[in-house]
Amino acid sequence: MDAQGYKWVRWRVWLCHLMTVLSLGLLLVLFHWRPRLALLARCRPCSLGLADFVLIRDSFGQQHVVEVLTEEIEEGSLELLGDAEATEWRDTVELYQEEKTLLRYYLFEGLRYIWLDRKAAFRLVSVLNENWTCKDLHGFKNGLSHYEQNVRRQVYGPNLIDVPVKSFFKLLTEEVLNPFYVFQIFSMVLWMVDEYYFYSTSIFIISLISIGISLYEIRKQSVTLHNMARLVTNVTVIRKSGEQENVSSVELVPGDCIRLPKDGLLMPCDAALLAGECLMNEGMLTGESVPVLKTPLPDSERRYSSDSERKHALFCGTQLIQTKGGASGDAGAVAIVTGTGFFTAKGNLVSSIMYPQPTYFRFYRDAAKFLVILGFLAFIGTIYSFVVLSQYKMSWFEVVIRVLDIVTIVVPPALPAVITVGSIYAQHRLKKQGIFCISPPRINVCGKVSLFCFDKTGTLTEEGLDVWGVMEGRAAGFSDVVYDPTLLPPGPMRSCLACCHTLALLQRQPIGDPLELKMFKSTGWTLHEPGEESGLLDADFGGHRVLAVMRHPARLLPFHATSAAASAPVAIVQRFPFSSALQRMSVVTVACGGRSALAFMKGSPEMVASLCRQETVPPQFSKKLRSFSSQGLRVLALGCKPMDTSSDLSATERGEVEKDMQFLGLLMLKNLVKRESAKVINTLRLAKLRTVMVTGDNILTAVNVAQSCGMVASDEGVIFVEATARTAQTAPTLRFTPEDGEGIIITAQGLYQAELEYHLAINGSSFAALCDHFPEHLPKVLMRTTVFARMAPDQKTQLVKELQKLNYRVGMCGDGANDCGALRAADVGVSLSEAEASIASPFTSKTENISCVPLLIREGRCSLVTAFSLFRYMAVYSMIQFCSVLILYTVSTNLADLQFLFIDVILVTLLAIVMGKGGPGDVLSPSRPPANLLALPVLGSLFIHISMLILGQLAALLITTSQDWYIPLNSTVFGTENLPNMESTSVFSLSGFQYIFMAVVVTKAHPHKKPLYHNVIFLCLLLVLFAVMTCLVLYPGPFFLEILQLYDFSDFDFKMLLVALAALNFLICFVVEMLIDVGVLNYLRCLCPKHASRKKFKHLNSLLCDPCVPSWPPLNQTLYSSEHMAISLS
């Protein structure tokens, strides 16, 4: 994010005030549209340290102007923060020679940026605590004094996620100052001056209703978001003096020590748990209502991060269910505030909703360019009309009014609103199907999606897991598979399954991670937690502080076990929760009486095996792991080691526990593929939409699921991409290994050139190494990789962005917090979760499977085709009316006021509203609808149609003037004073039919929309309007003759001739459109050299398929990075 400082220039400000008065406020409107111009006009560039305003260019290239604010801080207050922090805090102020210290900051997208003098830049205020270590947090456990807290609150600001709710007057002002409404106001004023009272009044009423609905919806959404974001409660803060104080959560600052009540709390901030245990419901973030157990943060020197220390972090907006005390008297757990306001998990969520990623879509860019083309035509029309009108005895004022009227005809004010009709209908249909959209413009983007990424667990597969079996491992090898863990003999394996978890009791029922629940319940053991008798329970287990006790029911004891040894309870005295970064979790247990202690560990097989003594790992480990993973089983490895009972086990470091373990065996769990997944994937593949799996699971398990759901067909092979990062001893390497290690026979051609169907599979560590050391291979790998396994949440987001760099329109479907970043980064994000975190995704589906994806794409294509049709119709409508007016100007007349009203409201507006009501096609077509408004078929068809329509109107006028009974106009008067007359009536009659039949001609259906006859309302309206227009031409009646100022032709044959001319005009346009649809205009491309596709992935695919290109990928060869080769050569 780039920032540039600007400072007020007094004389420029006064000059702008003067120009505002002289321009009647138009300069302020321009400044409202372009704040950067206001900044350049009133200020001069300066250093950021002296700036009154900052011009910010964000990562999307958009520019924002923010004001720099100042706040006085008491002199000497900074020294209270200690030597380590004082240096940084002094950087946040600018010291003036006067006797006061000022804090300089600005607010951008809810976040506070403070001035760091030594860094000569504004930085996020969170920079002050981003380097806190776990030991630093433990240093705050005595609390802050009132004075320290006040100083921090001045710098950090209040702990409030404040979503402003604007007043109706402010919303009205901003809405009216929209360029669309400004142009409408200009048009209405012009029409009122020109005495078009009926039409201008109608447009005013329509605009008023439109603005009212828009303001209601905007304010309703703002109030909803405000209520969701605002969280104010009372919390207990521990002060430095030792006293406890009940304060409002608004006053919390990073570093505050808070006591968490036993009866629960809705967390008002982000915090790190220092003492006690907390049972949290993080459904707001993850969408999973399963409670999560949080354990105390270890006192270590490592840097604290809520992502890496997730099992010790409490997040704002999540529900604290219960606590287990961390102090004497068991009065509740203790935590340190680490983030407040928008610098919390909930604040980040609200910020992403308030300031979403902008949508860059070609259709919208081309629409703006097309308006410029219409503006150029309007300019030509104004010159022609000026030349024609200057020949009549008209005042200059009347000439200017008539000339400006041409602009409002060529550039229809309703155009931007009309092309959103398709999205509105699609949004309504999606809502009926349980799919909710917070960003309607993204619906059109759905129509151009070319690649869809899917999470695995909970998205492609069922959420729950079932224990498939366990296999004990010894140095000599593995035992047979035991499918029922209750049949295991007493020993470490059975104890590990029963104890190695973070489950807790809620209303006497075990709750926690579904995988751990399945594992624990499969043993038949029971869970007990210490209550009031916790002191007695501790004494039963050697005086160690007991967290939970596991007991084996006597009825499940194996026949070969002695009852005393087998039924002895086991106590958990220390827990190290699962970490996705570490890929493991562990516990320390003590036997009854404290006579022995064992540490148990479970996690990914590769990680657990690496932490076990190698002599305890069976030789067949890799083979068995590959076998079970290739069957689609989720595999976990188990390990244990004895601990010294004389030491303080509750204070043991994790690093000491999780090393030199004894390998115990493997636990296999079955994760079933949802029955809808294979059908949906097959539908997408038939539609030539590429599908990709992005998961945190094992790569072999992911490949098996990909094969089960059809991403990888049975006759298609898999090649594993293995990349390694640089180490002290080795250089970065890249290798492509076929599945099962079998060689693939490739002659002179590579896999691409031989058109062999193969998919690449890569894991997270290889993906990171590929991005860092082999960027030249990254695009090629992305082109063919279908399975991305062991991907961390940030890697999922990075993958989406890398695919977008290849010009893919990327969709992403997921169900949890791990996918939120990727869902927001994708062009189309679909969340299957109803959590608050999921609403940052453009689309949210209530259905818990991926069947919503084809529906969303079909609706997107339907909406895009509708937008195309409506845009073309509005362009044709404006040109029909433009030509009618210019033709009638030429012969000294014009259309009547009510004729304009009839055309614009009765014909065009009604047709445009119901034209987009047709639903999507039933089948997802392999072809995607175009999004290029400036393509040859679009511009070519518009040019041909407009030419035919102009010829039709000229033919109607010439036929009229060639009749024997024709009476010439009075050329001494102009405009409506000549009404009614033959010329305007004939042109109006034919153009009325043109508006109706062009709605049929430009309406596209197959294959992305249902046929025209399915849109019953549109079809009925066409018939009604055609009947009305026919009656106006053949049997107008005295009432309509007077109201519409029509000339009463007495020659019935002439009237029939006008109707026949309209029918011929329709037939020609319809045939032309059919020929364009089958690609007649594409033959013109033969006259020009063929250009390569602008999409990088298409260009790259063409290169890879070129026989002249060397074979890729090079199988079973070790590649080195270019930087390593350069070092070797040097």
Q: Is the peptide bond before 492 cis (omega within 30 degrees of 0)?
A: no
Beta bridge pairs of residue 570: 550, 591
- List own/partner pairs for 793-799 with CB under 8 A and 24 or more apart: 793/307, 793/817, 793/818, 793/819, 793/820, 793/821, 793/822, 794/821, 795/764, 795/767, 795/768, 796/453, 796/694, 796/821, 796/822, 797/821, 797/822, 797/824, 797/825, 798/771, 799/453, 799/694, 799/767
Round to whole Å and give the CA distance between 933 and 364: 9
DSSP string for 517-580? HHHHHHHT-EEE---TTHHHHHHHTTTPPPSEEEE--GGG--TTS-HHHHT--EEEEEEEEEET
Catalytic-role residue among 405, 455, 513, 897: 455
First to last CA, the chain: 38
Q: From CA 815, how far away is CA 835, in angstroms rounded?
A: 9
Is residue 455 annotated as a catalytic residue, yes or no? yes
- Rg of the chain's alpha carbons, rounded to an integer? 36
C-alpha pair distances (Å), 375 with each of 123, 414, 432, 934: 44, 15, 40, 15
> Do the Cβ atoms of 600 and 651 come closer than 8 Å?
no
Q: Is 791 helix (H, G, I), strand (E, B) or coil?
A: coil
CB atoms near residue 699 (< 10 Å): 22
Strands (E), 26-67: 43-46, 53-57, 63-67
248: which residues sit within 8 A by CB, 6+ positions away?
A: 232, 233, 234, 235
Comparing C-alpha atoms, which of 3, 1, 9, 2 is closest to residue 40? 9
DSSP symbol at 327:
S
Cα gap 399→1037, rounded to integer Å = 34
Rounded to the nearest 10 degrees, what angle do helices 26-33 and 35-42 cross at? Answer: 120
What are the tokens at 881?
């009316």
The three-point CA angle 718-723-727 to 5° equals: 160
Please state whether beta strands 111-116 and 121-124 pair in parallel, antiparallel, or not at all (unpaired).
antiparallel
Say if residues 750 and 1110 touch (Cβ distance below 8 Å). Answer: yes
Could you give phi then psi for residue 217, rounded to 5 degrees?
-65, -40
Residue tagged 């041909």 (tokens)? 944
Q: 758-763 and 717-724 as β-strands: parallel, antiparallel, unpaired? A: parallel
- The total number of residues written for the chain in this structure: 1130
**Cα–Cα distance between 357 and 826 in angstroms, integer?**
10
Q: Which residues of 542-556 are buried (b: 16+ CB within 10 A; e: fewer)?
A: bebbbbbbbebeeee
Catalytic residues: 455
